Each structure stands twice: as structure tokens, then as C-alpha cells.
Amino acid sequence: MGKKAFVFPGQGAQYNGMAKEFVDNYPKSREAFEEANDRLGFDLKKIVMEGTPEELQQTMVTQPAILTASYSIMTAVEDSGIDCDYTAGLSLGEYNSLIKAEAMNFGDAVNVVRQRGTFMQEAVPSGIGGMAAVMGMEYETLRDCLKEAQVEGVVEMANFNSPAQMVISGSLKAVELAVSIAEKKGAKKAVMLPVSAPFHSSLLKPAAQKLQEVLLQTPVYPLKKSVVTNADAKVIKSETEIVPSLVKQVDSAVLWVPSINLMIDEGVDTFIEIGPGKALSGFIKRIAKTKGASVRIFNVENMETFDLLKREFTSGGE
């Protein structure tokens, strides 16, 4: 049998009521939200379960909310006896992968990502930065579009999500110009994203520096799993690499395509997306297809998807 990987979603995957069925059915899942509430000093569980989308969209809430929802689901998956060899997360999701690898404590991670969200928001005033998704365009062509658009300011590659989708980030006017140029040069689709800051661009360097100070005071431990990082698409060899990697991640591109390719090359043939949404499952499907690799992909976000996973792995499916 091939190897398994747990993958975790990032910001944008959130919705009200995420992880609710796990919180209702599993004590550990419920305890995760209670611990998060204690660490944050506000009622995260209430906002996630009963609040409005607007309350959940505040970045100092969004980041710990997704982290906690994914972690609470992961505890149920682990208790069912399903485990992984590799783990990775998209941007914010990388913190979940470090928790899974026992390299970071959940409570500490909640505290860090709340501050991470605040620093990212504060780095660039609202309305100054932006991001856009570009679909159906070769990287080289998009790179040329960005060069042209840089007359209006900073615009850079932010995410290599799948062979069919890349994300760009930077100053609003430059991103808007890049979208217009990409459409003229044949992109299938280029759309501005509803985000409040230019994530994964050099404009977030001040946030990265502030985050570094927080991370240097946060305990990290030897890794028990192979964690593939966004910033370099490599397996972290030692816990000394964790903080530099998380700092670099803030203001550089998310290398999701090479990260998935690396895991496939290392023998991973089963990917289990844990947390809200199934965006990563879609990306992995396209990456594997382009590579000509045969993989199985599961996402676990409610009892129905969890039951499917358990049937696969507890009834001779392995």
C-alpha cells in the first residue's frame, strides 16, 4: 500500500457551522473549541456556530476559527484509527500540519494564528492591496502579464494552487491591471478575490517580521511526521526549520503544486483533506491528473464524509 497524507485548508474555506457535527458528537472536538476560547479570551465557538458570516470574516477570528475547526475534525479522524505519513496545509493550514506532527501544541498555535491574522491585516491598510485568481493560463504568460502591470506597483505570484489556477497579490491597482492584461492575453478567467489584504506578497514583510517575534517565543518540538512546507515545497528536516519556514510563508508564494508533486513522488497515493470545504481535493485531483498519477482523495468536513472515510479504511479498504 502507498502512503497517506493529511492536508489542511487555509483562509477562505470558513463557513458558519463548520465542524458542528463533530462538536456535537465527539468530546475531544468540543474540547478543542473550549481550549481555543480560553486561549483567545473570546467565544470563538459561539461565533463559528451561531454568529454571522461578517463576524467570521474578521481575520483575527477567521484564522483561529479554521485552525480549530480542522483540528477538532482531525481528533475524530485520529480516534477512528486513521493516520498519515505526510502532512501539509495551504498557508494557514500549515499550522494544522505542524500540530499533527506534534511539532506545535494546539493552544499555542491558536494564539499564534490569531496574531498572524492581525499582523497581516495591519500590514497594509484596507483598500490598498488585493488578490486575484487566474485560471487557464501558463505560468510564463502570467509572469509576463505581471511584469507589464508592475508600472502600477507591486504585483507578484501568491499561490500555485493547481495547473489550472494561480493567484496573484499586491497593490490593488497593479493587481487590477494584471487581471485586465491576463484576460486580453487569453486567460480562461481572471477574477479579483474578496480578501482584505495582499497575502503572500512582499507587501506583508512587516507582518512576517512581527510574526517572527511571536514564533520565537512559541515552543516547537521534534517532528513526528513528514511536514511539507508551502514556502519551499520541501520536507522539514528539523524543528529548527519551523520558525523560518512559517515566517517566510507570510510574504512569499504558496508552492502547493510542487508540494503535492513531492508527496506523490515520495509514494503518497491517498490524500485526506481535513477541515472546511474541499478546495484542496479539487487542486490535488488536477495536479495528479497533470502528472499522470493515480491517487485517492477524501475530504472530511461532516459526518457523511467522515463515514465514507471510515468505511474505506476500517472495512478491509486498506
Hey, which residues are catalytic here?
A: 91, 200
Q: Which of 222, 221, 212 is nearest to 243 (CA)?
A: 212
Q: Which of 133, 215, 213 is nearest to 178 (CA)?
A: 133
Asked if 70 and 275 touch (Cβ cutoff 8 Å), the reply is yes
Over its C-alpha atoms, the chain yields an Rg (Å, rounded) of 19
The Cα–Cα gap between 290 and 117 comes to 34
